[in-house]
A and B are shown apart, each in its own frame.
Chain A
Amino acid sequence: MSTTLSDPARAEAGAPMPSRRTEQIRRFSDPILFAALFVFGWQAFVWISGFHPVVLPPPARVFRILANQGDFLVENMLVTMRTIVWGFVIGGLLGFVAGVLINYFERFRRAVYPILVALYVIPKAVFIPLFILWWGVGPLYKILVTVLLAFFPVTENTITGLQGVDREMMELTQSLGGRRWFAFRKVALPFSLPFILAGLRIGLTEAFIGGVLSEILVPSTGIGSRIVEAAAFSNTEFIIASIMVVASFGIAAYFLFLWIEKRLTFWQ
């Protein structure tokens, strides 16, 4: 899945091209403008509808929470991030190894791949109660849930990537007497790297779901628990502020990953 948006409708014949410079300024100014419009629309909607602040708090109240209790929210988010990062790293590694084994060992593929595909496409959240039963409600359980969610996209993409490795390039390496391990490191791995990274990007998304969902289901520490707490007190502005913190971390993590991905696959 491509994630860059070139501007094809504009590049099409007929459309007047704004200057390069205006284009670049707009790339930054437009999202800011949009955010401002969004907040204004939100405020306007609160005025017009006359909703009670419990149903829809005005933006000012949410910003006040962010200003006054921002540290507390970020602290909780960092706890959640620890789960997410551990789950992502372990799940990603296991997913990669599983993908490699499935791709290179015919028997292993036949034995487990259909099971993995089935697990990939079903709602994995239903396994969470089993995890709670077996591993308690501590950090271990949360990391395991995150691993479970992050694992599959990485496996799937690793296999897709390795399947697409240029066959002739592998033959060339073989024809020179290169060993399998050498061909894997120097040819197959770089070839499939873009796919593996894309899988990891999806895995990161899943890891965020795992981190937050595991806390919402068993509230104790972390931002998910704070959201559940706030819900119990109908503290809507706090919920919205918490979501904003989660979203900021998520979006930052996403673009950080995208940046690393671009650097690692510079030849693309």
Chain B
Amino acid sequence: MGIKLDRLDKVFQTDDLTVQALRDVSAEIGDSEFVSIIGPSGCGKSTLLRLVSGLLPPTQGTVYLDGTPVEGPAGNIGFVFQAPTLLKWRTVFRNVMFPYEVLASQRKATGSKEDYEDRARMLLKMAGLEDFPDAYPKQLSGGMQQRVSICRALIHDPELLLMDEPFGALDEFTRERMNEELLRIWRETRKTVIFVTHHIPEAVFLSDRILVMSPRPGTILGEVVVDLPRPRIAEMRESVEFLEQVVATRHLIGIRPGDDSLSPDFSSPLKDGSG
């Protein structure tokens, strides 16, 4: 699914406050492209995802999905949040099946319940959860729960996957493993992915392209085209090319060794090689 963001503005208005969350955001994302959006907390990344999904209307501008303007939730999108956001009273399997139920209640499900159940089993297998269809969320670790929520996002075969800091709550080891698994799933399904994060190496490892956003009001500062070969494997994280991409992204955001008071001793061997 191709996406076009056309000069998006988003202003939140409450009784006493007016907050501009996004200003003049434009971008294009190609079919099957994996794009990360990166930026500091509160830069409107999550808001942007909600505009794309049609959950929120933009104050100005338009979102086009495959050339059609978005005017509300379309139903062909998969959503993954930072928290696993599972229904605690349902088993893993029934959690994965939840989107089917929603679509069926709208008579929008394409295919029979059995088709979806087969697909759910297939996805659980792909995520290494085939042994836990009847477990309840509280019985699973955080990483496993997040994998359930990724399966759920894929059950209705959406053309677009929106991921809002999905691995932000996981420890570093789990995060790296989940990155690799996500790439494997993406390779097998070829969805268009918009991935919000503030973890730079993660964005570099996963993406075709990284859009860098500024603090509120959020605007797109620039983009980094990640030219690392695919398939990406764990060993690449230690390659010089990978680190160069990380540093380039850091510089675009405005982090430079020297004016980072938190780690004054940080000095990259690549300091002079890029940026």
Q: Using CB atoms and an 8 Å cutoff, list the residues of chain A in contact with chain B.
A: 166, 168-169, 171-179, 182, 186-187, 190, 265-268
Contacts and interface: CB of A to CB of B under 8 A. Distances in A.
B103 A176 contact: yes
A172 B87 contact: no
B234 to A, nearest CB: 30
B85 A166 contact: yes
A171 B49 CA distance: 11
Contact of A169 (B87, B105, B138): B87
B189 to A, nearest CB: 18
A162 B105 CA distance: 22
Contact of A187 (B50, B74, B87): B87
Interface of B, helix, strand, loop or mixed by DSSP: loop
Interface string B71-99: 00111010101010101110000000011
Given A175-B54, A178-B105, A267-B136, A168 B89 contact: no
A26 B106 CA distance: 55
Given A182-B102, A182-B105, A175 B85 contact: no
Contact of B74 (A177, A186, A268): A177
A189 to B, nearest CB: 10
Interface size class of B (residues with CB under 8 A): 20 to 34
A176 B73 contact: yes
Contacts of A268: 88
Contacts, number: 62
B146 interface: no
Given A182-B105, A186-B101, A267-B138, A175 B88 contact: no
Interface in B85-137: 85, 87-89, 98-99, 101-103, 105-106, 108, 136-137
Contacts of A267: 88-89, 136-138
B169 interface: no
B87 A179 contact: no
Contacts of A173: 102
Contacts of B23: none
Nearest to A174: B73
Q: Which of A171, A182, A266 has the most CB atoms of chain B within a 10 A radius of its CB? A: A171
A179 B85 contact: no
B53 interface: yes
A190 B73 contact: no
Contacts of A166: 83, 85
A178, A190, A265, most chain B CB atoms within 10 A = A178
Contact of B99 (A176, A190, A265): A176
Interface of B: 50, 53-55, 73-75, 77, 79, 81, 83, 85, 87-89, 98-99, 101-103, 105-106, 108, 136-138, 156
Contacts of A182: 102, 105
Nearest to A181: B105
Contact of A177 (B75, B98, B136): B75
A267 B88 CA distance: 6
A-B residue pairs, 3 tightest by C-beta: A177-B75, A178-B102, A176-B102
B159 to A, nearest CB: 13
A168 B53 CA distance: 13
A76 B55 CA distance: 58
Contact of B50 (A169, A171, A190, A266): A171
15 contacts: A168-B79, A171-B55, A172-B81, A174-B55, A175-B54, A176-B73, A176-B106, A177-B73, A179-B105, A179-B106, A186-B101, A190-B89, A267-B136, A267-B137, A268-B88
B263 to A, nearest CB: 33
A182 B53 CA distance: 19
A257 to B, nearest CB: 19
Contact of B77 (A175, A178, A179, A190): A175
Contacts of B54: 175
Nearest to B74: A177
Contact of B73 (A169, A175, A265): A175
Contact of A176 (B75, B88, B138): B75
Contacts of B103: 176-177
B113 to A, nearest CB: 16
A27 to B, nearest CB: 25
B196 to A, nearest CB: 13
A119 B33 CA distance: 58
A11 B267 CA distance: 48
B65 to A, nearest CB: 13
Contacts of A172: 79, 81, 85
Contacts of A187: 87
Contacts of B79: 168, 171-172, 175
Nearest to B56: A171
Nearest to A185: B105
Contacts of A186: 87, 98, 101-102
B120 to A, nearest CB: 15
